[in-house]
Structure 1
Amino acid sequence: MPDSHHASSGLTLDTRLTRTGKAPSHAGGVPVNTPLVRASTVLFDSVGAMRDARARRDEERIFSYGARGTPTTFALEDAVSELEGAWRTRLFPTGLAAIGMVLLSYLKPGDHVLMSDSVYEPTRNLVHSFLEPYGIRSTFFAADGSGIEELFEPNTRLVYAECPGSLVYEMCDLPKLAELAHARGALLAADNTWGSGVQYRPLALGADISTMAATKYLSGHSDVMMGTVATTEAAWRPLNERCDAFGMTVSPDDAWLVLRGMRTLSARLQMHERHALEVAHWLQERPEVATVFCPALPQHPGHEIWKRDCSGTNGLLSIELQPGVGNAAVERFVDALRLFGRGSSWGGYESLVAWTNMRAARSVTDWSGRGAVVRLHVGLESPRDLTADLASGFEAMASASGA
C-alpha cells in the first residue's frame, strides 16, 4: 500500500488530491486559443484582497466569483465588444434572454416602448407576456420606420428595432431612428443577429444597445446557445447592474465554443453570401416564386439603405410562393427537400428551411392575400446541389397542387 503521506509536504493523500495542479507554471509561449477556465469559487490571498475585489467589481471587470464571469467569458465579451464597436458586452444563455434583459434593464412600469413590426416573433411575445402585465406600454411601428414620429409619447423610453427585419428582411433607416429617439430622451436598441457585427454595426449607426443571438453566426456550428448585449459607455450601467442582480452568466465551455466559431466568422459569411446570392438569382427565375426576399437584391425594398449601411449579406433569404398555393402543396415542397434540414434557427454551416406564418409575425403590415412565405438558410453546401434540391421540391409541390 502506498504511504498516505508525502515526505516533503507532510500532507495526506486526500489533502494533496484536493490541492495539487491548481496553479500550473510553465516556461515558453502562450496558447493560440483562450484557455478554458471553469470556476464558481474564486480564492484570494487575504481578507483585504477579497474586500478590495468586491468593492471594485461593480465598476471594473474583476475575476471574483463565477456568476460574475471567468477569464474565458471575459475574453468572449472583449471579442464581441471589438466586433460591435462597443464599450462593454454582457453574455446570456440565449438570444431571447439577452433581449429580455434589455427590456428589464431600460424599462420600468409606466414607461412606453416603440417596437418594430419586424422583430423576432418571441420578442413580440415578450410584449404580451411580460411588458403588458407589468404596466409597460408598447406600440409597434412599421418595419421600415415610416410614421414612427407620430407614435412617440412623453414616456417613451426605448425604441427597439430589428434591421434587417426577421423573416423578410425589411430595412429601416437606423441613423434616423437614433436621431428621433435621442431628441426625445429615449434610447435605441437594435437586434443585430442578422448582421453579426460584420455586415451591420448598429452602434456605429447611432444605436445605444445592440443584441445578438451568438447561437447563430458567431457560433456557426449549431451546437451552442448564447446571446450578447453590447452597449455604448453611456448606456452601460443599467444593463450591468441588472445582470449582476439577476446572476446572469454563461458557461465558460459555451463561451469557448463561440470564441472558436468567431475565428472563422468573416470567412464563413463570405461563403454564405456567395451561395445565397446564387440560389436567390436562380429562385427569381422560377415561376412558382412570386418574390425573393434578400436585401442584397436590387428589387428588394430598402436595398438602397442596405447598400449604405451594410457591408454584405448572409445565407438568409425567403421566398413568397405564388398566391393560391395551398397548405398541402407548401408542406409537400418543404418535406420533399433533402439538403435543407427542417429545423429552427440558422447561422450554422448547414442549409435549413422553415415555413413561416407572416400573419402572426406582423401586426402593422397586412399579409392577408399574399402567398405563403418559406425561409431558407443557405449553408456551405454547393449551390448547384441546393438548387437541384429546390427543383425537386417544386416538382413535389406541383404534384400536390395537381392532386
Structure 2
Amino acid sequence: MSDLTLVLLAAGNSERFKVPVKKQWLRIGHDPLWFYVTNRIKSSLPDVTVILVAHADEIPFMTPLCDFSVVSGGATRQQSLKNALKEVKTPYVMVSDIARACVDPDLIVRLLEQKGSADTIVPALDVHDTVVYHNETITREHVKRIQTPQLSRSDVLRRALESDVEYTDESSAVVACGGTRRFVLGDEKAAKITHAGDTAALACLGAPANVVFTGNGFDVHPFEEGKPMVLGGVEIESPFGFKAHSDGDVAIHALIDALLGAACLGDIGMLFPDTDASYKNIDSKLLLERCVQKLHNFGFVILHADVTIIAQEPKIAPYKDSMRQTLASIMLIPASRVNVKATTTEHLGFIGRKEGLGVIATASVHYFDWKNG
C-alpha cells in the first residue's frame, strides 16, 4: 500500500475561463477534464489513494463515473484542500489542480525522488525575462514560477493550513509556518488552464469525441379544476390546469428528462426533487433554464428537441408555434430545431376520458467543441 495520497482540486467556478463550459468538464474524447487529469497522474503512482475535491452540486454526477473518493470543496482553494486533508490517512500527500492538465510522468518521478528531504517538494521554473516589482527591477535569479503537483508531509501541511491567511499554493503555507521547502525542476508543458486560450498550448489534450447523444422523456399529470394551465411554457385557455408540485408543465418536465437523459445526467427528480419546498408552484420555464445551464456547464450543446403532446382536451394546435418559440429561446437554439406535435388516444384510457394528459419528448446533444470554439 502506498504511503501517499493524491489530492486533485476541482471545486472552482471557472469564473476566468469565460466559456459556457466549466473547465473541469471540458471533454477529452469522452472523458471530462477532471477524470482525464486524475487518471493521467494516478497512472504514475501505483496503489495510490485518490481524493478528488469537487463542488457539492457536481458530486452526484461525478461519483458514478469514477472509482476514487470525491469530497465537497469549500469557498476557497485552501478550504477545499483542508476538506480533503481530513480524509488523508497517509504520511505524505501530493496536491495538484485539475487545471494543471498535462503533468508529465517525469515530473512525478522528480518529486518522488526527493520525498522526505523537506517538508514540501515543489516544482519550479526559472524566470528568463527582466522582472520589475513596484517599478523596481529585481534580480530575476531570485524569482521562481511555482507549479503543482506539490509533495508534502501530511501533518506539516495540516498545521500550515490552520492559519487564517489564504495562500495560493501549499509550499507558501508550509514555509510561513516554519517548514522546509525543496525545489525540483518544473515543466513548461505543465501549464495551468486559467483562460480559454490556455488550452491551445496543451498538446496532451485531445479533442472531444464527435458524437451525438439522444434522450427520451415522459411525463403525465392529472387535471385540476380552477388552476391555470401552462404547457410548453405557454398559457393555455382551459378551465383546468395540472395537479403538481410545480406549475405542472408536463411538456417541459418531459423535455427536461429528455435533455438529462441525452447527457446522462440523471432525471428531473434528481435535479429538482418534489420534496424541496423551493420548487412549490415554480414556473417550469425556470427549471428548464437551470437544466440548460447544467448541460452547458457539463460540456454539452443542445442540438434539437421533439415534443409530442398526447391530449384529448384541450386543443393544442393553436399553441404549437408559440410553444416552439418559447422552448427554443430557453434552450438557446433556433426554433427550426424544435418540433411540437399533438395527438389523441381516440378516447381511450385516462387521457381519452379527459382526466389528464401525457407528453413524450426526445432531445439530442453533443459535446462542446472547445478545440474549435
What TM-score bracket applies, with the shorter chain setting the length? Answer: under 0.3
Q: What is the TM-score of this pair, normalised by structure 2? A: 0.24
Q: Which has the larger radius of gyration?
A: 2
Q: Report the structure, 1 or 2, having the larger strand content.
A: 2
Q: What is the TM-score of this pair, normalised by structure 1? A: 0.23
Q: Report the structure, 1 or 2, having the larger helix content.
A: 1
